[in-house]
Amino acid sequence: MSASEDRRPLVDGRFHLISRLGSGGMGTVWRARDIALERDVALKEVRPPDPALEDANPGLAAQMRERAVREARALARLSNPHVVTIHHIVEPQDGSHPWIVMELVEGRSVYERLAEGPMSVEEALTLGRQVLSALRAAHSAGIQHRDVKPANVLLRPDGSAVLTDFGIAVISEATSRLTATGDLIGSPEFIAPERVRGEEGNPASDLWSLGMLLYVAVEGHHPLRRATSLATVVAVLDDPIPAPVRSGALTPVLAQLLVRDPASRPDAARLEQLLADAASGQSGTRAPAQATPGSFGSPYSHPAYAPQQQPAGQPWHTPTVPSHAPAHGSPAVGGGFGPPTLPVPPSASARPRRRAAVLAASLAVAAVVVVVGVVKLLPDGGSGSGAKGGTTPTNAGRTPGQETSGSGTGKGAGKQSSTAPAPTPGGTLLTTANVRTVIQAFREASGSTTMKELTIYEGYARASIPTRPGAKTYDAYEYRDGIARRTGPGGTIDADAADEQPFDAAAMPWDDLPALMKRGEKELKVERPTMRYVIVDRWTFNDDRPTLRFYLINEYSAVGYLAVDSNGKVVSTYPSS
């Protein structure tokens, strides 16, 4: 690895690392500049596993490397506007971890979009058809994605969808040896029931995941999310799915997709027709469809559940609309996701005795749920940087709504700050006073201003905050509309990685921010910037010291940044070329 003029490392002698877009337990994605072709790309760094993980799973490092190479080859075989494009793979001759060079998708993930509120039916239908197009291309090449979820779908600035992160995809002719016995691959909330049971090789499993993504997108909550990953897996195997209440013309499509028998689901061609019919209004009324006994959405999904067994006065089969969910067609306001809306179960005498079988299934997966994040090449967002754009969204493995569980070990876990909305001149948080308000709000919500990372956009902010002083785990927090709240577990802090150690965000030179931004607007040569934000973390290119970086990006992907240390001294300038 050579170095650029400002001594930042060059990958493969041509890729200049600019900023970290996201990271997880198995890798990091960087925004990088291809100096040979003068374009920005996303560079996925597949890091060696934690030594403890390697001890527990011998051969994991080699398995990761093979999966990374397989991902590159899988993507290279696809040509579809809704599949992320892979440009190149770097396999160092010294045997160190590979790098995957991919298209840089500017924009945000569906996960980030849903944090603003549910989608309209029309928006979800468009999303569904585009993701299905990507899946059909993959399936035709013998590739299954296996982890379709909101964080793995990016939205370009024009709103079109791009399916990313084929890191745990299966190529039909050469994969059985790559998955260790007992490994559960995929995110518990979106994995198909048959995959939980160990059945593989069926493209219909990806279609279940797509159906669940669309349910979450329109309804505003996940119908099978439970308090723990294990409980969620058991729910995926067994629990009835509440009928949609906002899905309108999409309801009959979901009814056919979200059935536990993969043979009963429509194939991709039929699903395309169903989505097209729904989009054109040919599927019938746009009002929410009524579920019938035995159909999707009804608790009577088992023969033992008969309509006459419903307890009088307990309309448990009719899910309620969360108070935060706007009516169909009305705009979403704020963070529209909350806890799942669960049906009230029937009386004990009416409940079928199936829990013994479910318990057996849960015991089978209990030991492997903890490795869900391990076997994925890059969990989508568990410890993301919070920067928008790039090919790996943040908040991996979770969908909006899981974030409000309120559980955690931190002093402020589950709490919201009571800080009043900060004044936002010009609609921006990027002023000294407003940044300090944001940090104070995070302190009230978490009990600390010590952070692993802080990212502040003009309209909202995110932080990674240790669960307690000295802890090696951290929680994710968000500040929006004057409120800071814990959005869920973040990830772990590598004790041996200097760039992951927490720092005091309040001690950074925020008084210098206006001057830094003014200088950046003048020197970074980003014409008509459309995005401004600040990232604070321990930066590799500043000897792992706490560093504040101000970024400018425009709609043509021109990017530049200025970096200052904790004393306010400019340590790096990266103007747009």
Region(s) of the chain under CATH 1.10.510.10: 108-303+353-375
The two structure tokens encoding residue 111: 């996960």
Q: What is the pLDDT of residue 211?
A: 97
Provide the 10 A C-beta neighbour count for residue 440: 16
Q: What is the pLDDT of residue 311?
A: 31
Provide the 10 A C-beta neighbour count for residue 331: 9
Model's pTM, two decimal places? 0.56
Beta bridge partners of 538: 546
Rounded to 5 degrees, what are φ and ψ at 553?
A: -140, 145
User: Distance from CA of residue 560 to its chain's centroid?
Assistant: 25
Region(s) of the chain under CATH 3.30.200.20: 10-103
Annotated active-site positions, please?
A: 147
The answer to whether the CB of 103 falls within 8 A of the CB of 84 is yes
Measure Cα distances from 130 to 133, 164, 221, 572 in Å. 5, 13, 22, 40
CA nearest neighbour of 288 among 319, 250, 320: 250
CA nearest neighbour of 63 among 191, 173, 185, 163: 185
How far apart CA 228 and CA 105 sit, in angstroms, is 32
Q: H/E element holding 536?
A: strand 531-539
Question: What is the full DSSP assignment across 86-115?
Answer: EEEEE--TT----EEEEE---SEEHHHHHT
What does DSSP assign to residue 228?
A: S
Q: What is the SS3 assignment for 446-485? A: HCCCEECEEEEECCEEEEEEECCCCCCEEEEEEEECCEEE
How far apart CA 538 and CA 501 sit, in angstroms, is 7
Residue bearing tokens 């398995």: 63
Rg, the chain, Cα only: 24
How far apart CA 453 and CA 548 sit, in angstroms, is 10
What does DSSP assign to residue 241?
A: P
Instruction: Name the class of domain 108-303+353-375.
Output: mainly alpha
Q: How many residues does the chain have?
A: 577
Q: What is the pLDDT of residue 8?
A: 62
Beta bridge partners of 486: 477
Residue bearing tokens 């559960």: 184
What does DSSP assign to residue 284?
A: S
pLDDT tens string, the chain, 577 residues long: the values are 555 445 566 888 899 998 888 765 456 888 999 988 889 999 988 765 556 656 666 776 677 677 667 767 777 878 899 998 888 888 877 767 788 898 898 888 999 999 889 999 999 999 999 999 999 998 988 888 888 999 889 999 889 999 988 766 665 544 443 444 345 556 788 999 999 888 877 899 999 999 999 999 999 999 999 888 888 888 999 889 999 999 999 999 999 999 999 999 999 999 999 999 999 874 444 333 333 333 343 322 222 222 223 233 222 222 333 322 333 332 232 222 333 333 333 333 333 334 444 444 444 444 334 333 333 333 333 333 333 344 433 333 333 333 333 333 334 444 455 444 444 444 799 999 999 999 999 999 999 999 999 999 998 899 999 999 989 889 989 999 899 999 887 778 878 788 889 999 999 999 999 999 999 999 998 888 888 999 999 987 788 899 999 998 887 767 888 999 999 999 988 886 6
The one-letter amino acid code at 512 reads D
How far apart CA 494 and CA 498 sit, in angstroms, is 8
Beta bridge partners of 161: 155
Question: Please, how many CA atoms are within 13 Å of residue 173, restricted to the half-sphere of its CB?
Answer: 4
How far apart CA 562 and CA 523 sit, in angstroms, is 9
How far apart CA 291 and CA 242 sit, in angstroms, is 9
Measure Cα distances from 85 to 1, 102, 148, 235, 328 in Å. 24, 6, 17, 35, 35
CA nearest neighbour of 371 among 43, 52, 22: 52
How far apart CA 148 and CA 185 sit, in angstroms, is 12
470: which residues sit within 8 A by CB, 6+ positions away?
Answer: none
User: Distance from CA of residue 355 to its chain's centroid?
Assistant: 32
How far apart CA 410 and CA 403 sit, in angstroms, is 15
Structural domain 10-103, CATH architecture: 2-Layer Sandwich (3.30)
User: Distance from CA of residue 315 to its chain's centroid?
Assistant: 34
Q: What is the pLDDT of residue 22?
A: 73
Residue bearing tokens 């993504």: 213
The one-letter amino acid code at 489 reads P
User: Distance from CA of residue 117 to its chain's centroid?
Assistant: 15
Q: What is the pLDDT of residue 185?
A: 56
Provide the 10 A C-beta neighbour count for residue 21: 25
Q: What is the pLDDT of residue 168?
A: 63
How far apart CA 525 and CA 520 sit, in angstroms, is 8
Beta bridge partners of 545: 539
CA nearest neighbour of 135 among 251, 278, 266, 255: 266
Between vectors from CA 197 to CA 191 and to CA 202, what angle results, nearest 5°? 65
Q: What is the pLDDT of residue 408?
A: 36
